[in-house]
Structure 1
Amino acid sequence: MKTQKVDFDVVVIGGGPAGLSGALTLARARRSVLVIDAGEPRNAPASAVHNYLGREGVAPGELVSVGRGEVAGYGGEFLAGRVATAKGSAADGFRVVLEEGADVPEVTASRLLVTTGLVDELPPVPGVAERFGREVLHCPYCHGWEVRDTPIGILATGPLAVHQAQMWRQWSEDVTLFRHTAPEFDDEQYEQLAARDIAVVDGEVVALEVTDDRLTGVTLAGGRVIPVRAVVVAPLFTARGGVLADLGAAAADWEMAGHVVGSYVPTDPAGATSVPGVWAAGNVADPTEVVIGSAVAGLRAAAAINGDLIAEETARAVEARRTAGRRDRHK
C-alpha cells in the first residue's frame, strides 16, 4: 500500500504487533497515521504465535496481515521501507527520512511511535542461526509445549544457564546442560541440577546435527554426538534503537540477576521516552515482552499519544479564543 500523503498526526516506525496495535488505536481515534515497515519481523522463522488469547497458534504472517487490514479499514496508511533517520521535536514536528528506494523519501509527523523491536544476537555455533525459531529456541512459554517430553539441550553461554535449565525442566524430564562457554558452576548449582536429574556435559559444542531437515543432536569438540530434539540458547537481546538514538533517546543496558543480557530504550509505563513527543513500545522498550504484551503496549502508547495531542490542541484552541477575545475588545 502506497501513501500519497507526507504529513501525519502520528508516524509509527515498525509494523509488528506493537506498531499495528498502536496504529489501530490511533486510526480509531480519527488520527492520521502512517506505519513504516521494513518487512523483517523478528518472529518470521516461527511457525505459530502462542499465548495470544483468541489467536492461539496463528501464523505470525497471518496475524500481521489481518492487523494491517484492520488498520487500513480505519484509514491508516502504510509505507514499505527502512527509516534512515528521524529528527525534530514535538514543538516543531518530526521529519522521518527513509532509506533510498522507498516510494516516499520522507514524511513529517506531530508525534512518533517507535516499535522497531530487537535483534537476537546468537551464539556463533554453526547451525544455530539457521534453525533459530524452529528447534533452536529461547523462550519456554513460546515454545516449551511444542518440544515437551523430548530431549532438550541447553547451550550454556553465560551465568544464567542453570536458571534456563531449571525452567525448561518444566517441559521435559530429559534435559541436558551443555556447559559450552559458560563459567564453571558452583556446588549449590550442581546440587540443584542433580536434584532434578539435569545432566551436565562439559566441552564446547561445535555444531548441530541435522537429519532430513530436523535437528537430531549436538556435536562436541571431541567429536561426540549427543542426541537432542531442541537446543535452548540465550541470545543477547539488542534493541533496534538507532532511530530513537538519533532523536536523543539512547538505549541502556538490560540486566537480569545482575548480568547484562541485552539493551532497551527506557520509557515510562505508557511508553513515553525521554524525548517529548516520542513513544516506544514492544521489544525495543521491553526485551521480555511477548506478542500479546507488545500489542497491549502499542495500544497503551497510542492512547497516551492521542491524549498528548488532545492537550496540545486544547491549549491552541484556548489561545485562539483568548486572542479573538482581545481583538473584539479593541474594536
Structure 2
Amino acid sequence: MTTDDCIIIGGGPAGLTAAIYLARYHLRVRLFDSGSSRAAMIPCTRNHAGYPEGVAGKDLLALMLQQAEKYGVHRQPVRVDKLARDDDGFVIETAQGGFRARAVLLATGVVNHRPAHLLPEVHDPALERGLLRYCPVCDGYEVTDKKVGVIGTGEHGAREALFLRSFTRDVTLIAPEVEHALDPACAAKLDEAGIARVNGPCGNYAIEREQLAFDTARGRMAFDSVYPALGSRIRSHLAIEAGARATDVGCLEVDDHQRTSIPGLFAAGDVVKGLDQISHAMGEAGVAATTIRNMLSEQQPLWR
C-alpha cells in the first residue's frame, strides 16, 4: 500500500483549496469526495469575490476540481468510513479499500437540518428558485424588501430573524413544531423590531404563485423566501472516533494553524466553525495546507 503525503476528506471549497495548495507544494495528494458538499446546492452565489454576476455552486466546485487535477490531485468519489492513527501516520478505510497518508485534512463540513415534512420534490425546486435559503449572510441582500419567513424558535431562531430584519421589514418567525420557546428578552427584541411570531406546526409545503407556502397555526402562509433556522449536524465523527477533541456541538477544536488535538490531523471549514462562508473555509484551508507542508518538511526534507 502506497503512502500519500496528505489525504483530504471532503470535496467542498475547503478541501479543494487545500488540495490545490498541497499539490503546488509538489506533494502527493489524494482527495476523497462523497459528493455531498453543501456548496453544490447553491443555485447562484453573488457573495463570492471575483464573480460580479454570481456563480453556481456546482460550477465553482468544477472549476476548483479542474485546477486541483491540473496539478496532479487524485480525486476518488467515495465516502470514508474510518480514520485511524498509527505509528507511521494515518490509515483510511473506504468501500474501495484502505489507504495510508502522512497527514490528513478533514474538510467534511456540516449538514443543515431541513424543516420536517418538507419533501425533496418541493425542497429542491424551492432551493433552486431562491424560495428556500439557508444562509442570510450569503444571500440576505437577495431578499431586500421581500416577504420573508424564518422557521425556528428560541435564541437561534430569534437571532436569524433579527439579522434578516436589516434587509426587509416583513419578517415572520414561525415555530417549527407547536408553540414558540422564547424567553422574555428574545420576545422583547422581536417586538421592538416588528417581527411577527406565528406558532406551528409547519406542514403541507408547496410552491404556490412563485412563493413557498405551508400550513401554520394561523392558517396557510406564503413567503417570497423562507429561511430554516434549525441548526445543523457537524460531520466530525471520523475525527472524534479517532480521539480528536470537539466542542459540545461537535465542532473540532483546532489551533491557529488548523491543527486538531491529534498530531498530523488537521481540519478546516465548517467542521471547525459553521460560518457557512466559502471564503472563510478557503482561508482556513490555505493555512492548514501550508502548515501541513511545513510539518512534512520537518519530518523529511522536500528538496527537488
So what's the TM-score if we normalise by structure 2? 0.88
Equivalent position of 1:279 in the other structure: 266
Q: Which residue is equivalent to 2:74?
A: 77
The answer to whether the 8 A contact 2:258-2:266 is kept is yes
Equivalent residues of 1:218, 1:228 under 8 A apart: no
Larger Rg: 1
SS in structure 2 of the partner of residue 137 of structure 1: coil
1:9 match = 5
Residue-by-residue CA offset, 1:302-326 (whole Å, 9 max, x unaligned): 0010111111125x99xxxxxxxxx
Which of 26, 30, 43 in structure 1 is aligned with 2:22?
A: 26
Map 1:293-312; keep pairs closer than 5 Å.
293-312=280-299
Which of 117, 140, 145 matches 1:144?
A: 140
What is the root-mean-square deviation in Å for CA atoms of aligned residues? 2.4
Q: Distance in 2 between matches of 1:15 and 1:187?
A: 43
Q: Is the 8 A contact 1:207 1:220 kept in 2?
A: no
2:216 corresponds to 1:229? no
Gap regions ≥5 residues in structure 2: none
Segments of 5+ residues of structure 1 without an aligned counterpart are 255-262, 318-331
How many percent identity over aligned positions?
A: 27
Deviations 1:103-153 (A, max 9, x none): xx2221111111111111223143585445742223212121222211101
The one of 64, 69, 76 aligned to 1:67: 64
Output the amino acid matched with 2:70. G
In 1, distance between residues paired with 2:239 and 2:150? 34
Q: Which runs of 4+ in 1 moved over 6 A?
A: none
Q: Is the 2:115–2:176 Cα contact (8 Å) retained in structure 1?
A: no
Aligned to 1:322: none
Structure 1 position 73, deviation (Å) = 1.7
CA distance in 2, matches of 1:215, 1:295: 33
In the alignment, does 2:112 pair up with 1:115?
no
Relative to structure 1, is the Cα distance of residues 236 and 197 closer, same or farther in structure 2, using a 3 angstrom cutoff?
A: closer
1:121 alignment partner AA: H
Query: 2: distance between equivalents of 1:203 and 1:120?
Result: 20
TM-score (norm 1): 0.81
Distance in 2 of aligned mates of 1:27 and 1:247: 26
- Report the Cα distance in structure 1 between the residues aligned to 2:176 and 2:73, rounded to whole angstroms: 48
Q: Deviations over 1:275-326 (max 9, x none)?
A: 1111011111111141111111111100010111111125x99xxxxxxxxx
Which region of structure 1 is more displaced relative to structure 2, 121-130 or 304-313?
121-130
